[in-house]
Amino acid sequence: MTGFWASVGALLPPIGVGLVFWLVMRWILRADRAEREALARMDAADGSDPAPPGEPSRSGPGTGPGRDSSAGDAQASGTAQETS
């Protein structure tokens, strides 16, 4: 019977670490989901379309009404615009 309790005692630390890991990952994923939902609500309230994955948002500073968005695109891509 002492062999059984020794085995249980040997399994408790990995199970505990696995449980802590699961809880931390669950907390991170829930926080990320809540942040994405909040950003989607903010975008919906602003009336702006969210940027596709991997692209910067177009609703930042300098992209409001009356602004030339092509100048920001040229700077972001690293190319210079020629003016005549």
Average pLDDT per run of 10 along the chain, which is 84 residues long? Answer: 89 96 98 94 79 62 53 53 56
Determine the pLDDT at residue 72: 52
Determine the pLDDT at residue 46: 85
Q: Report the alpha-carbon distance of residue 56 to residue 13 in Å, rounded.
A: 44
Distances (CA, A) of 28 to 21, 22, 34, 66, 81: 11, 10, 10, 40, 42
| Structural contact between residues 4 and 10, judged by C-beta atoms closer than 8 angstroms | no
Distances (CA, A) of 10 to 4, 5, 6, 51: 10, 8, 6, 50
